[in-house]
Each structure stands twice: as C-alpha cells, then as structure tokens.
Structure 1
Amino acid sequence: MTLPPADSALGKLMATLPRPGRVEWIGVRPARGQVVEAMDAAIAVAGGGLQGDRYAGGSGKRGVTLIQAEHLPVIAALAGLDAVAPQLLRRNVVVSGLPLVALNGRRFRIGEVLLEGTEPCDPCSMMEAALGPGGYNAMRGHGGLCARILEGGTFRRGDALVVVTD
C-alpha cells in the first residue's frame, strides 16, 4: 500500500491514532485444519511466522495475521451467532483499542517484535464450516490484517501495539 506523504494533511490524519492497541489473544495453527492453540506468549521469527504455526518457516508478507477484537461481535452478529471465539477465525493475534486498517503499509511493534502491515487478511472458505452458511461473507471487511515480521522476538498477551514513526 502506498501511503500519502507524512507531511500532507491526509498523511497526518492517517498517522494519528487515538491510543496504542493491546494484545488480547494469541494463537498458532499447527497444521491445516487443526484446532488453533491459544498461547500466553509467542516467538516471532524474522522473515517467517510464529514459532509453532504452520506458516513459521517463511510466509513473508503473511507472517502474522491480526484481527480487531471490536470486530468479533460484529462477525458474530452477521453470522447469526451469539459470540465468536478467536480460535474459529484462525488468526494469530486479537488486538483491541485501535483500527487495524490504519496499520496497512505501516510499521508497528508488539513487545520485542517489529512488524509491517502488508495487506488485508481476507477470509477463506473455511469460515463457512466455522461460522455456518454465510460465514465467509460475515467476515468480509472484518478479516483483519496480514503483517511481515521485520525483527523477531517475543510478545505476550497484554502487550501494547505501538505504531513506529520514522
């Protein structure tokens, strides 16, 4: 994604966030179709993914997938469910407190890890089985963000997500 110049009016608006985000949940997908395992902490590998995740070995721009906590009730409502557990959505990190869409094309830190938002994380066909008929469409526009791991390290539930300004 190409961002507007940082000193432009739109660039300043796009760079202004109300507060840091917060990691609410972390999970890894050991293999395709297997249950997502919730974790208290994760080790991120630069240029790859999260240790223990099926994409850990070199997934590049999709090294980590994030979803916004505030979207979980929206997805549940659109799917006709009372609630949606993060594991069902097969994302690695649930973040609250800031709009993830604002991180596309930007660098940010969670714990020791430096990431860069690369693209929206669109839903996959597995959402029909996870959420029921229409589950794929319930997630459209709410699927979160993919990020590349630029510097590895550890992050934990409760860590802040802070945008890095150059």
Structure 2
Amino acid sequence: MAFPFVGNSSSAIGQLLATLPQTGRLEWIGLRPVRREPLLSVPEATVETDRHLAGDHARPRPGGKRQVTLIQHEHLAAVAGYLGHPSPIDPGRLRRNLSVSGINLLSLKNRRIRIGEEVILEITGECHPCSRMEEELGPGGYNAMRGHGGLTARILMGGTIRVGDQVQVITDEPQ
C-alpha cells in the first residue's frame, strides 16, 4: 500500500503511526482474586468502567492509568525462548490481565481500543517487568521480560469481554 507523503517528514511519520488496520484477538483473560496468588484463567470477565476487572483483587483508583494490563500473546514464545523453555510461557505467570494476538500492542500507546462489542480501553503506557519475574520465571526472568512487559490501560467503557473477542483500534472522527 502506498502512502501519500505530503508536507514535512513529521507529517509522513504521523501518517504511518496513524495507519493501523489490523484487528487483534483476545486470547486469554486472567483474574487475581487474592494478592500474590496465581491468576485464574477465565473465559469471560466483567469490565467495570473506570475501575478494574470484576473479581480481580487490584483496586486502582478511578481515573488511574493502570486499571487493566495487557500483554502481546506472540511475546509469550519469545520470553520462553530467552529462558530456554520449549513452549510459550503461560500468560498467567506474567501477571497481566489480558493477552492479545494479531495486533502490535506497542503501536497502541496513547490510543483507544474496543474489545468485543462494549469495552473501550485507553492505552496509557508500558507495563514494565518487576522483580517478581525472577521469582516466577527463575533466574533471568526479569531480563527476559524487558521489552515484553505489555501495556497498561484505563477503562473508558465497561461491559463483558470473552476469549475470542476482536480487538480493534478506535479511529478518531474527523474534526
């Protein structure tokens, strides 16, 4: 596909950054009912507007930037490879709420996405690994996760999400 490059290079980059036609897929949902306990894999979850996933122990403040966390599903195999594991890491071990495939999550920073029919998230930043990765994945776990920690998001509109739901970028309306 050709892009019409007009104006200076910053407008060309802006055009490239705005072009994200892919549709992703929600591969996994995880809830932590109790702090420091393993995440539970669930087929669906209720997402509470400006709060969290119902059933998750985390209670972020309204307006907070880390109400839900997402990880790139394709990175599960990369992290496993860095650690010498023969198969992808189970997403629950990485302590993120949602695993998404088919769309580059990092390209979604500062954008809004829709999951399924109802839920809208605003991607607020990167979710860097913590020292718990050494505990969970063994020696080298922290460094294996660097650059693969996923993203944080604010919940703009709640609803129900299900494994298999589409994940789409919400494009802004022309002004």
CA contact (8 A) 2:60 2:66 kept: no
> In structure 1, what residue type is equivalent to 2:98?
V
Identity %: 55
Larger-Rg structure: 2
**Stretch of structure 1 that moved more, 138-147 or 9-18:** 9-18
Once residues 98 and 164 of structure 2 are traced to their aligned partners in structure 1, the CA distance between those partners, rounded to angstroms, is 11
* Alignment partner, residue 23 of structure 2: 20
* Alignment partner, residue 89 of structure 1: 94
User: 1:58-137 alignment to 2 at 5 Å?
Assistant: 58=61, 60-83=64-87, 84-111=89-116, 112-137=118-143
Extract structure 1 runs of 4+ deviating beyond 6 A: none
Structure 1 residue 31, shift from structure 2 partner = 2.1
* Alignment partner, residue 4 of structure 1: none
CA contact (8 A) 1:45 1:56 kept: no
Structure 1 residue 80, shift from structure 2 partner = 2.0
Residue 42 (1) aligns with residue 45 (2): yes
Once residues 41 and 48 of structure 1 are traced to their aligned partners in structure 2, the CA distance between those partners, rounded to angstroms, is 17
Structure 1 residue 30, shift from structure 2 partner = 1.4
Once residues 86 and 118 of structure 1 are traced to their aligned partners in structure 2, the CA distance between those partners, rounded to angstroms, is 21
**Stretch of structure 1 that moved more, 122-131 or 77-86:** 77-86
> In structure 1, what residue type is equivalent to 2:67?
G
Aligned to 2:74, the other structure's residue is in SS state helix
Aligned to 1:61, the other structure's residue is in SS state coil
CA contact (8 A) 1:30 1:53 kept: yes
Alpha-carbon displacement from aligned partner over 1:9-30 (angstroms, at most 9, x marks no partner): 2222112224101000000111
* Alignment partner, residue 3 of structure 1: none
Once residues 96 and 33 of structure 1 are traced to their aligned partners in structure 2, the CA distance between those partners, rounded to angstroms, is 26
Alpha-carbon displacement from aligned partner over 1:20-55 (angstroms, at most 9, x marks no partner): 010000001112210100111111111111001122
Once residues 157 and 59 of structure 2 are traced to their aligned partners in structure 1, the CA distance between those partners, rounded to angstroms, is 14
Aligned to 2:85, the other structure's residue is in SS state coil
Once residues 138 and 57 of structure 1 are traced to their aligned partners in structure 2, the CA distance between those partners, rounded to angstroms, is 27
Q: How many residues align?
A: 160
Give TM-score, length-normalised by structure 1: 0.91
Structure 1 spans left out of the alignment, 5+ residues: 1-6
Give TM-score, length-normalised by structure 2: 0.87
**Stretch of structure 1 that moved more, 8-17 or 106-115:** 8-17
Structure 1 residue 57, shift from structure 2 partner = 5.1
Structure 2 spans left out of the alignment, 5+ residues: 1-9
Once residues 20 and 115 of structure 1 are traced to their aligned partners in structure 2, the CA distance between those partners, rounded to angstroms, is 15
